[in-house]
Amino acid sequence: MGPNQASPDSHPDPARRRWMAVLARATAAELGALVRAAGPPAYTVLRGPEGGLVMVRGRAGGGGAPFNLGEMTVTRCTVRTDAGQVGHAYVAGRDGTVAELAALVDAMMQDADRSPALDAQIIAPLEARQKARQAERAGKAEATSVQFFAMQTMRT
Amino acid sequence: MMDSSTLSPGFAAPVIDAQVTFRALLDAMAHPGAAHAVAPLSPPAPLNQAAAAALLTLVDHETRVWIDPSAAAAAPWIAFHTGAPRVAEMAQCAFALALTLPDLAALPGGSDEAPEASATVILQVASLDGGRRYRLAGPGLRVPETIAVDGLPADFAALWRDNHRLFPRGVDLVLCSGDRLAALPRSVSIEEV
């Protein structure tokens, strides 16, 4: 589940990978509003939403051996729209609403006729918001960063 | 991924329904031949409710399952809800889902040191109320009990004798019809009447 697990170009379905990642990071409130606005189809829940644990693995340094960092809570859900598309979602945390909505949007996005419109309506706004949030956090972190050039100067 | 537009839901309340079905299986194993109702479920054809509920309850990603080729239509549903690996060789399975009685000798029967390493056969039968009559005797039965099963082969009593003789090795059989199941553990001796 890390950003460095599979490079996007080696993924069998990079487009789906992108929208699933965006959906997994959305909050229940923003996702709920966007899905309602898009007019969701009728659907059946096939599984969940149910909670579980996923082992997160880390790597010591750049080339160190992998180790088990710890388990994180993950909620998953699978739905099938009445048109027959099956959508999956694995979302960090315990919020079943997000998992169900994300699975529903995943199913809707697989309808090739609707997916460009839905992308503009749901995925793109979410992605923009997430990028803005990330940029804001990165900016705050950047402001407190310390340049460790002292060691380098001593050695030379 | 085994996406399929024909996938249907599993148990409505996964924890409670699996516990109800597990209790039914325990009671069925403890009292051979007695039929017990399982939790509600609408499985895909050709599975019946009892066989599907038993699979959802007993099978998970650590148990290898052999699926009768004539029940292959239900394989994606079983894989989706249980995550169990499907094996082509009957001899490697922990659970076998069968529509007709498989060769019991071809299934793993465990060893004398580890009799629990044997297979459990989940067999769909037409009825637990009619058909051939069998007298059961053994642990769990104070007096011999007579059951009627429609869907077992004509020479079942002889086939079972070979399985029962292996005790403590041997396979266990769960008979499923409609929403009810009955068990024939390896410890029970069976005579046709």
Q: Could you tell me the CA-to-CA distances from B96 to A12, A107, B32, B89, B145 in Å, in that order?
A: 33, 33, 19, 10, 26
**A85 interfacial to chain B (CB closer than 8 Å):** yes
Q: Which residues in chain A come in under a pLDDT of 70?
A: 1-9, 149-156
**B103 interfacial to chain A (CB closer than 8 Å):** no
Cβ-nearest to A47 among B3, B5, B81: B81
Cβ-nearest to A86 among B5, B14, B81: B5
3-state helix, strand, coil in chain B (%, to 5): 30, 25, 45
- B10 and A85 in contact by Cβ < 8 A? no
B19-33 pLDDT, tens digit per residue, is: 999 999 999 999 999
3-state helix, strand, coil in chain A (%, to 5): 50, 25, 25
Q: Which residues in chain B come in under a pLDDT of 70?
A: 1-5
pLDDT of residue A153: 56
Identify all chain B residues contacting A80, using CB atoms and an 8 Å cutoff.
Answer: 5, 7
Q: Are strands B36-37 and B180-184 parallel, antiparallel or unpaired?
A: antiparallel
Which of A110, A77, A80, A107 lies closest to A91, judged by CA? A77
Size of interface A-B (CB pairs under 8 A): 24
- B80 and A46 in contact by Cβ < 8 A? yes
8 A C-beta contact, residue A85 and residue A62 = no
Shortest Cα–Cα distance, A73 to chain B (Å): 18
pLDDT of residue A2: 44
A66-110 pLDDT, tens digit per residue, is: 899 999 999 999 999 988 899 999 999 999 999 999 999 999 999
pLDDT of residue B100: 94
**A47 interfacial to chain B (CB closer than 8 Å):** yes
The CA distance from B84 to B94, in Å, is: 10
pLDDT of residue B45: 85
pLDDT of residue A97: 94
- Please give the full DSSP string across B55-120, using - where no structure is assigned: HHHH--TTS-EEE-GGGGGGHHHHHHHH-PPB-S-GGG-SEEEESS---GGGS-B--SS-GGGB-E
Sheet architecture: strand order including B172-177: B36-37, B180-184, B172-177, B120-124, B95-98, B65-67
Nearest CA in chain B to A78: B9
Cβ-nearest to A86 among B4, B10, B14: B4
- B7 and A45 in contact by Cβ < 8 A? no
- Length of chain A in terms of residues written: 156
